[in-house]
Amino acid sequence: MTILFTKYHGLGNDFILIDNRHQTQPILTPEQAIKLCERNFGIGADGVIFALPGAEQADYTMRIFNSDGSEPEMCGNGIRCLAKFIAELENNNKSKYNIHTGAGLIVPELKGDGQVTVDMGQPRLLASEIPTTLATADEKVVAQPLEVAGRSWSVTCVSMGNPHCITFVEDVSIIDLAKIGPEFEHHSVFPERTNTEFIQVINPKYVKMRVWERGAGATLACGTGACASVVAGVLTGNSDRLVTVELPGGCLEIEWSTTDQKIYMTGAAEKVFTGVIA
């Protein structure tokens, strides 16, 4: 069996995209995805994304396997890439898609300048929604102390359909992600593990971010993480509601709307190459 694929990246967060519209389950196993994501012996990617038939009145369904074989609820950079991929498959003038994900219905819209704006929905802020045991189920986790690696960190937790733990630091460049990231990800207060964002505030409208992604490790960008970080910035008084988030792979524009309380993410998604998996 041969499988066609297309490689995309969103600010360096890279994915293998597969047309899976002919059946409702991914045509690859998590173990096969791990091999394909391996950068020395496979194609190389942070994850494999499948474009499946729509569900619950959606145009499409998104499934994703991380490079470690785990399956996240969704991926912000990945869904921008998926929108570009779908537009290429359909080859029509449609610019907006309703995509069913494990985090609910997500709506990306292709812009004339090549950017993609995504309606990410409303953030979830209660401890039970993250989930985390840092507070009681019906409380928010805002600027709470958390002991990690022998140090107390002030953390704020947000779910964008997937869990995020955000901490504000003086200088993101000195954070040893490879060392500290796994300790956050696997901390006992996060029963489903967590993504972790380290944020340096340049000014209320501009922040720098580095991220350790659950199931993928240190990546060049994380869309849901950028969204969660702006929410955390507003909750802690560190940022405005419209913020440029600078990641190692480039910048995302994030807005937490005062009108509908939804998060809107705008950023690039670029096709790299196509190929065949034998």
The residue annotated as part of the active site, out of 75, 81, 227, 251, is 75
Q: Tell me if 256 sits within 8 A of 218, measured CB to CB.
A: no
Tell me if residue 227 is catalytic.
no
Output the six-digit token pair for 277: 């998996």
Tell me if residue 37 is catalytic.
no
Output the six-digit token pair for 72: 């996240």
The residue annotated as part of the active site, out of 37, 81, 222, 227, is 222
Active site residues: 75, 222
